[in-house]
Amino acid sequence: MNDLPDEPTEEETADAPEGEETETCSDAEPGDASEETPQATADDGGEATATVARRLLIAGNWKMNAGGFDGTELATAVANAVADYDDVEVVVGPPATALAAVTDAIRQAKADVGVAGQNMHAEESGAFTGEISAAMLKMCGCQWVILGHSERRTLFGEDDETVAAKTHAAFNAGLAPIVCVGETLEQREAKQTLEIVSTQIAAVLDELLEFSGMGVIAYEPVWAIGTGLTASPEDAQAVHAAIRKQLHQRHPELAETTRILYGGSVKPQNAEGLLAQPDIDGALVGGASLKNESFSKIVEIASKLAQQAKTD
Ligand code: PGA
């Protein structure tokens, strides 16, 4: 829907850091975005301009699909298909019912693929029927958890406070959160995109700073999720640059080390344009992550870009 979003454009785009290079670091631990010392200058008026080494991250959000043996099969296929792309960090996010089996399948395939829960409760344990804790995700072999997805926010009433509490609990348990933010169509049309996104991020900034470099942000415009509509690379970049700036204002190192993924109808056909943007450090992929062919193709595209960035 390239004619849809006309916001943000002007000053936010102007704020986009220029000349940033995204390089890769191949041996980083899950959630460890950078092997290099961040070099942003503290007194540059809020711009994140330094050389960065954020490893591209492609994460699949399977949502309420592939929760049984089909999930194990998908994970095995992905693990085998992405084995050669070690300059890209790959994560799959199965439903809770398949987490343990998926981590086992990945272990058997000897693959460097991370596993993410799609949600968790902020409390460690207790009388919360149907819920799972961060420690339980860890026990299933997860290194990651997706938090604050727009479907959780809109369908299950999660607000910024809940997302912040979950983010805090995830970090404390040693899980790397992928915190999702994004505006609705109504909010975009009312030109509230940056206000909405910055409020959502402000709620987790302290947590992100405390565990700097471990947390990931996913910018997912709600109108682009599962609709086949995507933000143009330029529009997505403008929001990502504004997010980077907000992180930088909190702490330069936070801006340098935090990966900001784009999500919303990412598929092989549009991945390259999005992933080539300087402030887009990867993708959170829904529908296209349910088929090994499309998901591993996106990983391949990311790997090609990572290789190019190395030689540039
Ligand atoms: P989509 O979902 O790729 O199917 O739009 C993305 C997401 O919800 O994370």
* Domain at 198, CATH number: 3.20.20.70
Mean pLDDT score of the chain, rounded to an integer? Answer: 87
**Which residue numbers are catalytic?**
149, 220
> Domain for residue 5, yes or no?
no
Burial 70-92 (b: 16+ CB within 10 A, else e): ebbebbbbbbebbeebebbbbbb
The residue whose CB lies within 8 Å of the most ligand 1 atoms, and thus the one to mutate among 62, 156, 265, is 265
The model's pLDDT over 286-306, given as tens digits with 9 standing for 90+, comes to 999 999 999 999 999 999 999
Band the pLDDT of 8: cuts 50, 70, 90: low
d(CA 54, CA 306): 10
Q: Which domain holds residue 160?
A: 10-29+57-306
> Domain for residue 126, yes or no?
yes
Taking 70 as the threshold, does the pLDDT of residue 30 lie above it? no
Length of the chain: 312
> Domain for residue 40, yes or no?
no
Distance 42 CA to ligand 1 centre (A): 35
**Atom of ligand 1 at shortest distance to CA of 225?**
5
Ligand 1 in contact with 91 (CB < 6 A)?
A: no
d(CA 93, CA 291): 13
Distance 120 CA to ligand 1 centre (A): 19
Domains in the chain, number: 1
Distance 88 CA to ligand 1 centre (A): 19
The model's pLDDT over 122-145, given as tens digits with 9 standing for 90+, comes to 999 999 999 999 999 999 999 999
d(CA 299, CA 133): 30
Distance 114 CA to ligand 1 centre (A): 18
Ligand 1 in contact with 263 (CB < 6 A)?
A: yes
pLDDT of residue 53: 75
Ligand 1 in contact with 225 (CB < 6 A)?
A: yes
Q: What is the pTM of this model?
A: 0.86
Taking 90 as the threshold, does the pLDDT of residue 118 lie above it? yes
**What's the average model confidence in pLDDT over 76-93?**
97
The model's pLDDT over 151-210, given as tens digits with 9 standing for 90+, comes to 999 999 999 999 999 999 999 999 999 999 999 999 999 999 999 999 999 999 999 999
d(CA 242, CA 82): 32
Ligand 1 in contact with 265 (CB < 6 A)?
A: yes
> Domain for residue 312, yes or no?
no
> Domain for residue 311, yes or no?
no
> Domain for residue 128, yes or no?
yes
